[in-house]
Amino acid sequence: MKLGQPFSCVAGLAVAFGMLPAVVQADAPAPGTDKKSADSKKAAASEAEGYVNRKMAENWKNPEASLKRLGAALTERVKSPEPDNVQKFVEKPANRLLLAQWMMAWQAVHNTHSEAIENSKRAAAGKHTNRDLDMQVQESILEDLPKGAKEEREVQKKKVEDIKKELAYLEDHQNLPWKLEEFAAYKNGKKLLEALSTDLDWMYQVVFSGDCSNPGRVLAVMQGVAERHPDFYTNRKVRDIATATGLEFARDCWEYGKAMDRADYYIRKWKERKLNVVFDTLPFWQLRICCGSKCSDGFGNASAGLPASFEWVQDNVRIPIERFSGCCWRCGYKLWNPYGQSVHGADYRNPYNGLFDSNHHQFTYEVGGVCGGLSHFGAYAATAHGVPAFTMGEPGHCAFILRVNGEWTPAYSVFWQHGLHWTPWRGNYRFTTLHMMTELLEESDARDNDVSYTYLALGRIYGERNRKKEALKCYFHAISAQPLNLDAWFACSRYLKENYPTDKELWRQLHDDVCKLLATRYPEVAADFLQRHVYDNLAKTSISKDEIKQCIHLFWSSMYDEGPARWEVGVMADRQMRLLEKDAVQPQVTVTIGEGDKKEEKKVDKLDPDRACYLFASIYSAVSTKPVIPTRVLDWMNELNAMHKGVMTERIKQLTAYFSHIPSGPDGDAMQNKMLLAAESTFNLDAFQSMGRDMADAKDMLSGEMPPHRPLRGAVMSQGGLVFAGSYGEADTPAGHWGVLEGCGGNIATAAEADPWVGVMLPRDAFVSGVIIIGPEDKTADRRDMVIQVSENGKEGSWQTVGSPLGECPGSISTADFGSSESKCKFIRVLRKGGNTPLQINAIYVYGRPAA
């Protein structure tokens, strides 16, 4: 390729992109919550008063018939699916109750999972066989005990009784209703069914708070609780706990007996006032998280929600809500148990069978575990106290997340990629679904939600009647009325797939709606939806490649920025690369990724550099003015380039410079500085490392040497990390930041102020044994009275001082040696107490050992 050629390519692309309109202004409004109108506040108030209408009692013995009848009533009351009519419809509580009843009928017909139910019954039958044998063994032992051994006989009798109770529950699990029509015919079910289905607020909890699978079983659980707790109908909290437990246990076909234990636990503890006060005012869908804590058999990790575990936690891990994120670290991270058995086998736990009585928490505390065990310890310690929490997956790791002070707070998190182990609805486990659902279920305008669901119902009703035009209209209205309603998106795409699989205009409309309505603030959810439900179909239509390019550009230009959290931009870009060729099968090549012992070979599509650079230019031009996402896009492209041996390096540099409008000289430096500081403030380690090193290299700052120092215990854990400060002063040089954590040294300087600090985000969690701080020889007075602080998440309010203050600074090197008192952390900072001068540092070396 000739010297001028790449640039002329770039210029050509620039011309092409000059023709595309900028969709999003640089100063787009920050994402915010919708304001409740006075009307909807009034509506919410009337709901809170409790609308009950016994005249609307329905015979649920034939849900299909109920669905038709209620559908007819609904369409009659709406009259026609015009926005004004639907708005009027949802204003009346009786209409909303009708909508909820229709929804329940729909769930009964379409959301009863026969195969999962059969699997669950089979598993229960197998368990019944084994427990039946246990009972006979224990009975034989009881019969053999001498009559005089009273105490022993009592203990043994209790064992037998407990097993009998379990067997009875397993039979209940088999025999109690699963389907709504079964519950309607159930001898004790009439009262509950009537009370529930005529109560607006209660119905909304059941059908609009998340998944409502197997509604017959939901009701069977509630009925079981009602029979055990006489105040079920009069005590709202008791009712809520029963409802939440029923919904969660039914959705995954969990054992009936365990549902009883779970509901009993929360009811009892709430009445005893033993739960954290946050439980008292939890929104209903968050109550479902607590009531839906995992509770598998035995004492594997997923048994952390069994009663024995919860009771132990109640006594031994009673802490303020913000401390649950660190509570797992009171347990040991132990890959091997004291018998030398690995955590990856059954023999890790086998030596302790029967000793912990299915108490996962006590076992983990006394014996140990690794990330799965510790994360389950932390998450379910929180839920045992009524604090919503659950585990989540990260690459090769299990972390957890809790609700603290209105924020979803990751804990024991090593990576930024998270896959949720629980969501309100099935079908999307992306991390920011959680944030979107929080907004939908707690902050959005209730009337918008009602309108959206009404349109969703109408879409389904008209669909059933084969009135396709009306159905389509309703589905698209459902989306636009409340873009956060994932159910509506899924339903719309399903309808298009079944009825208009190759209609380009409709798929294009759906695609564009995703971009304009969803990608703006929840780009990850939008990206996931497009990848799984739209792109495949779009590619099969007659859409041209030019139109595809427009679609791709529209997606990236629609988003305000990356959304509530970082997400896999690269995966989306890779998918779009295939879409550019209308998903034509590409030749495959084998590439090597990773380094050292993480090296592996992978089969990928053969790289077409022109297509890749086109896509990069398209995306980068759309996002270049946004604060954070350009660095993510750059990461993707650099990784792709590295995978293919750097064939696109020059073109990437030119494209980046062009679309970032980075001139050379001081203005260019200012731009790069701004990007680097953005990477630091968002803890974007990859971007910091790649940009930081390049900037240091450009300023010839890689060849420095720090004064020799005595190493501390362990290894240097900070290399490859990210450095950041509370403020930046005149003496600061962003190009010097990267070197602060490297052997060559660098420079970072705060503003002149009291309590300045410089922080380090470690590449991975570590047990820190000490810190070496190196600063300018002539500024030792500015480094007097430094302290070391650690944090799990780097946020204000989370820092804890460790070790002793460093006192006077004798020279360029200050040492904080914690000896055997290690501190576990992901973030560490050096804070100078008081003073009004800058804190300037040339190097920070954090010593320790990996924690995970």
Partner 1 sequence: MNTPYIFQMMNRITISMLAAIALLAVQPLSAATIVKNYEEGSKAAGKNGYIVFAYGANWDPTGLQVCKKHMESAAVKEAAGDAAMWTVPFYQLPNDEQKIDQGIKWGSLPQPHVFSSESYPGLLLFDKNGINYATINGAVVQKGTPEEVATKVKSAIDGKLKRDEIMARADAAQGAEKAKLLLEAALIPGLNRPEKIVEAIKAADPQNSTGAASVLTYEPSAKAEAYSEKTLAETIADMEKLLEQPFWQPEQRQSMYAIMIGKLHKEGQYEDRAKIRELARKMRELNPDSLFGRSSVVVERTWGGQIDYETGWSPICLPPGGGLVQIVGRVPISNPGRYTVTFVKTGGADLRVLAVEVHRGNTKVGADEHSCVVQYPKKEEEADPKKRTPRRLGARSEGKDEANVYTVNIPKGKDITLHVRVENGGNSYGRIVIRKK
367 counts as binding partner 1 under rule CB under 8 A: yes
Q: Are 484 and 444 in contact (CB under 8 A)?
A: yes
Q: How far apart are the first and last CA of the chain?
A: 47
Contacts for 149 with CB less than 8 Å, ≥ 6 apart: none
143 counts as binding partner 1 under rule CB under 8 A: yes
111 counts as binding partner 1 under rule CB under 8 A: no
CB of 353 to partner 1, least distance (A): 6
CB of 230 to partner 1, least distance (A): 24
DSSP secondary structure code for residue 677 in this structure: H
- Interface stretch with partner 1, choices 329-337, 509-517, 539-547, 567-575 (CB under 8 A): 329-337
Kindly tell me which of 94 and 133 has the beta carbon lying closer to partner 1: 133
320 counts as binding partner 1 under rule CB under 8 A: yes
CB of 129 to partner 1, least distance (A): 6
Contacts for 122 with CB less than 8 Å, ≥ 6 apart: none
Kindly tell me which of 31 and 332 has the beta carbon lying closer to partner 1: 332
Among 26, 48, 84, 140, binds partner 1 (CB under 8 A): 140
Contacts for 164 with CB less than 8 Å, ≥ 6 apart: 135
Among 44, 94, 355, 781, binds partner 1 (CB under 8 A): 355
148 counts as binding partner 1 under rule CB under 8 A: no
188 counts as binding partner 1 under rule CB under 8 A: no
Strand partners, 817: 770
Q: Which residue type occupies 189?
A: G
Among 354, 666, 708, 834, binds partner 1 (CB under 8 A): 354
368 counts as binding partner 1 under rule CB under 8 A: yes
Q: Which residue type occupies 819?
A: G
CB of 228 to partner 1, least distance (A): 23
- Kindly write down the DSSP assignment for every residue of 76-115, as one continuous string: HHH-S--HHHHHHHHHSHHHHHHHHHHHHHHHHHHS--HH
Question: Tokens 């009875």 map to which residue?
Answer: 168
CB of 291 to partner 1, least distance (A): 20
CB atoms near residue 56 (< 10 Å): 17
359 counts as binding partner 1 under rule CB under 8 A: no
CB of 276 to partner 1, least distance (A): 5
Kindly tell me which of 329 and 556 has the beta carbon lying closer to partner 1: 329
Among 68, 190, 271, 330, binds partner 1 (CB under 8 A): 330
Total chain residues near partner 1 (CB under 8 A): 66
167 counts as binding partner 1 under rule CB under 8 A: yes
- Interface stretch with partner 1, choices 326-334, 485-493, 511-519, 757-765 (CB under 8 A): 326-334
- Kindly write down the DSSP assignment for every residue of 285-329, as one continuous string: HHHHHHHT----STTSGGGTTSHHHHHHHHHH----GGGGGGGGG
351 counts as binding partner 1 under rule CB under 8 A: yes
- Classify residue 422 as exposed, middle or buried by CB count within 10 Å of its CB (0-12, 13-18, 19+): buried
Q: Is 596 left (phi over 0), alpha (psi -120 to 50) or beta?
A: left
- Interface stretch with partner 1, choices 56-64, 310-318, 470-478, 724-732 (CB under 8 A): 310-318
Closest CA to 213 of 111, 316, 132, 109: 111
Q: Are 524 and 567 in contact (CB under 8 A)?
A: yes
Q: Which residue type occupies 84?
A: D
CB of 834 to partner 1, least distance (A): 18
The tally of CA atoms less than 13 A away on the side-chain side of residue 323 is 9
Among 72, 94, 125, 642, binds partner 1 (CB under 8 A): 125
CB of 471 to partner 1, least distance (A): 44
Kindly tell me which of 94 and 137 has the beta carbon lying closer to partner 1: 137
CB of 795 to partner 1, least distance (A): 13
Q: How far is the C-alpha of 400 from the C-alpha of 378, rounded, in Å?
A: 7
H helices within 385-467, ranges in order? 431-438, 446-464
346 counts as binding partner 1 under rule CB under 8 A: no
Closest CA to 815 of 826, 823, 804: 804
Interacting residues with partner 1 between 786 and 825 (CB under 8 A): 792, 800, 819-821, 823-824
CB of 342 to partner 1, least distance (A): 7
CB of 339 to partner 1, least distance (A): 3
Q: Are 817 and 806 in contact (CB under 8 A)?
A: no
Among 119, 342, 592, 836, binds partner 1 (CB under 8 A): 342
Q: Are 842 and 849 in contact (CB under 8 A)?
A: no
Among 25, 130, 466, 664, binds partner 1 (CB under 8 A): 130
Site string for partner 1, 596-625 (x = CB under 8 A): ------------------------------
710 counts as binding partner 1 under rule CB under 8 A: no
466 counts as binding partner 1 under rule CB under 8 A: no
Q: Are 623 and 636 in contact (CB under 8 A)?
A: no
Q: How far is the C-alpha of 409 from the C-alpha of 791, rounded, in Å?
A: 13
Contacts for 642 with CB less than 8 Å, ≥ 6 apart: none
CB of 145 to partner 1, least distance (A): 8
CB atoms near residue 381 (< 10 Å): 30
Q: How far is CA 848 from CA 262, 268, 716, 795, in A?
A: 42, 45, 7, 22
Kindly tell me which of 197 and 301 has the beta carbon lying closer to partner 1: 301
Question: Tokens 């305000």 map to which residue?
Answer: 560
Kindly tell me which of 578 and 764 has the beta carbon lying closer to partner 1: 764
CB of 822 to partner 1, least distance (A): 10
H helices within 186-252, ranges in order? 189-197, 200-208, 215-228, 236-251
Could you tell me the two tokens for 627? Answer: 């604060």
CB of 409 to partner 1, least distance (A): 12
CB of 269 to partner 1, least distance (A): 11
Kindly tell me which of 411 and 774 has the beta carbon lying closer to partner 1: 411
Site string for partner 1, 273-302 (x = CB under 8 A): xx-xxx------------------------
H helices within 336-397, ranges in order? 360-366, 371-384
Among 191, 236, 339, 494, binds partner 1 (CB under 8 A): 339
141 counts as binding partner 1 under rule CB under 8 A: yes
Among 172, 201, 322, 639, binds partner 1 (CB under 8 A): 322
128 counts as binding partner 1 under rule CB under 8 A: yes
Kindly tell me which of 90 and 404 has the beta carbon lying closer to partner 1: 404
Kindly tell me which of 356 and 476 has the beta carbon lying closer to partner 1: 356
129 counts as binding partner 1 under rule CB under 8 A: yes
Q: Are 53 and 97 in contact (CB under 8 A)?
A: yes
Torsion over CA: 754, 759, 765, 769 (sign):
negative
Q: How far is CA 825 from CA 373, 405, 417, in A?
A: 18, 21, 19
CB of 139 to partner 1, least distance (A): 8
Site string for partner 1, 390-419 (x = CB under 8 A): --------------xx--------------
Q: How far is the C-alpha of 619 from the C-alpha of 361, rounded, in Å?
A: 47
32 counts as binding partner 1 under rule CB under 8 A: no
Q: Which residues bind partner 1 (CB under 8 A)?
A: 125, 128-130, 132-133, 136-138, 140-141, 143-146, 167, 170-171, 272-274, 276-278, 314-323, 326, 329-330, 332, 334-342, 347, 350-355, 366-368, 404-405, 792, 800, 819-821, 823-824
